[in-house]
A and B are shown apart, each in its own frame.
Chain A
Amino acid sequence: MLVASLLVASFLIFAALYLAPGNPAASLSGGRPLPPGSIRILDARYHLNEPFLAQYWYWLDNVLHGNLGISIVLRENVSTLIASRIWTTAGLVLYASLVIVVLGVGLGVVSGLRPGRLDTTTLVVTAVSAAVPAFIAAIVLILLFAVKLRWFPALGGGTDFLSNVRHFTLPAVALAAASLAIVARVTRAAVREEGDREHVQAAVSRGIPARYVIRRHILRNAAIPITTISGITIASLIAVAAVVEVAFGLNGLGAYLVQSAENKDLAVVQGISLVLVTAFVVVNLLVDVLYAVLDPRVTLGSRAQ
């Protein structure tokens, strides 16, 4: 299933950009008129005169060998260009995921277990924060923590690990903000629902210590919906990272994808789309695997519902 859906996705990406208006030989030459001999050489090298399916086959063969073509703007291998930027995006998404899991789930569990003022505050704050798109969160965070308080840098990446953490904190929080709120709300609802169940009440009334009840009965059962929502939101970060990278001037895959789309650098657009779609599909697969680990009733290949 994973291979099939990646294969179809790769076909769609190739087909969409194959249909893009413009003459490939002209874009390879940068728009300069070419002598017929050079056109013939280009046609032969890039298989430009062959049927569509044959071209897809050559492209796929190259992709599987790690050759994603050449950027017509930078005249470099697309795989090299992607490799130099992939860690910015991966780091950003991982940092944001960490923030979501630690703060989102933590906040949800605490407010789910203790109704009261903290719980009400969490509900209101998360309702607002769930509606704040990443790029608006970005400008608000820059204004507060970079311009006013000067705690974090506003733009760009760092040089070593510590300065990277400093540079990536605001982007990661901006990326995480909306998802964090959604995860906290779902976690809170799941914990509340499990906590109200009869077997939990029975365990409490039999005098079983609260931490055992919470860990073994509430969290174990609430883990399924929490995993679902965390998985869905974290997977969605992969695409939204582009917006955050642009807002913070980070040189990641997403920002490069947007720039290449503007420049019609189609080989780069194909390559990055392929990487992002693969990452998205793989993260969703990992969530499915995690279900099977968390819930023995779920067997791989069937979705938990």
Chain B
Amino acid sequence: MSAAVPLPGAVSRHSQAWAVLRATGPAGITSAVIIAAATFLAIFGPLLAPYPPNLPNLSLAWVGPTGGHLLGYDFEGRDVLSRLLAGAQTAVLGPLAVVIVSMTAGTLLAVIAAWRRGASDAVISSGLDILFAFPGILLAVLAAAVFGAGLLAAAIALSIAYLPYVARVLRGAALKERSQPYVAALEVQGASARSICLRHLIPNIAPLVVAQATILFGYAMVDLAAVSFLGLGVQPPTANWGVMISENQTGILQGYPLPALAAGVCIVVVVIAVNVLGERLFEQAQADRR
């Protein structure tokens, strides 16, 4: 990484990103396509839904797949495919928000700790150690008890709960970067700490940040769906993959497993894609750093 820093403008960011992605191999590219599709559905899914996702019709409850209704009806007689499409919004954009908040705050804390060292580092590190005692789901349940159930409280709680995991890895990387000769050279030239961090240090640990963000997205998706499954996240009748599993769980026992399973498959497919891509990106980032 240090020896072959490309000159600014020599390679466009666009083709750089493509080169990184191509290096992850066919599995990585397939995963990226699945993630792109999920993101597309998260934005346009509600518009693509062929039937109103929240309109119950109890006479059609648990009816199986028929023409025009590929996945049949759920426990209230709503079209399962439409609910899956509409549910992509909260299921994908929720974790995305968690990742953005957690990664931004985590990167800032890690860089500040690594740059200032001493007292700032001690305060930040021990603060994160204490947060480490709160598992994500527990913090989300606590947030629901204090602020009431809802996606916002759960998302904020998870963003905080992931901070120690994010910051610990990035702090190590930032500390290593801090001791590189180029940082000392820039300091001697009189560059400000802010400009060194923003223009050199953070871009140099960016591959690790991207890899971590990808892996974190999988955790956030699972935990947010779990909180919605528990009834403390997205509130019915709003469609959401986690909510769909909990509201259709009785169907498993009564012989109508399709609505719950369909939502489960959506979650698992996206999480596998995210894990595979994240793992490849992480290996690349680690290999670059050595």
Contacts and interface: CB of A to CB of B under 8 A. Distances in A.
Interface of A: 5-6, 8-9, 12-13, 16-17, 19-20, 127-128, 130-136, 139-140, 142-143, 146-147, 154-155, 235-236, 238-240, 242-243, 246-247, 257-258, 260-262, 264, 266, 269, 273, 276-277, 280-281
Interface stretch (B12-20, B105-113, B134-142): B134-142
Given A147-B252, A261-B144, A273-B142, A136 B268 contact: yes
A269 to B, nearest CB: 5
B253 A261 contact: no
Contacts, number: 127
A232 B41 CA distance: 34
Interface of B: 129-130, 133-138, 141-142, 144-147, 149, 218, 222, 225-226, 229-232, 242, 245-246, 249, 252-253, 255, 257, 260-261, 264, 267-268, 271-272, 275-276
Contacts of B232: 258, 261-262
B99 to A, nearest CB: 17
A142 to B, nearest CB: 5
A260 B218 CA distance: 28
Given A5-B129, A20-B146, A277-B138, A131 B229 contact: no
SS of B interface (majority): helix
Contact of B226 (A133, A260, A262): A133
A261 B147 CA distance: 10
A177 B146 CA distance: 31
B130 A5 contact: yes
Nearest to B274: A131
B226 A139 contact: no
B261 A139 contact: yes
SS of A interface (majority): helix
Given A136-B268, A147-B252, A20 B145 contact: yes
B275 A143 contact: no
Q: What 6 A-B pairs have minimum CB-CB distances, sorted nearest first? A: A239-B135, A261-B145, A131-B271, A136-B264, A131-B272, A133-B222
A261 B142 contact: yes
A238 B134 CA distance: 11
7 contacts: A5-B130, A19-B146, A139-B260, A240-B137, A243-B229, A260-B145, A280-B133
A147 B130 contact: no
Contacts of A277: 133-134, 138
Given A131-B218, A133-B225, A258 B142 contact: no
Contacts of B129: 5
B135 A238 contact: yes
A135 B232 CA distance: 14
Given A20-B146, A139-B261, A143-B257, A242 B137 contact: yes
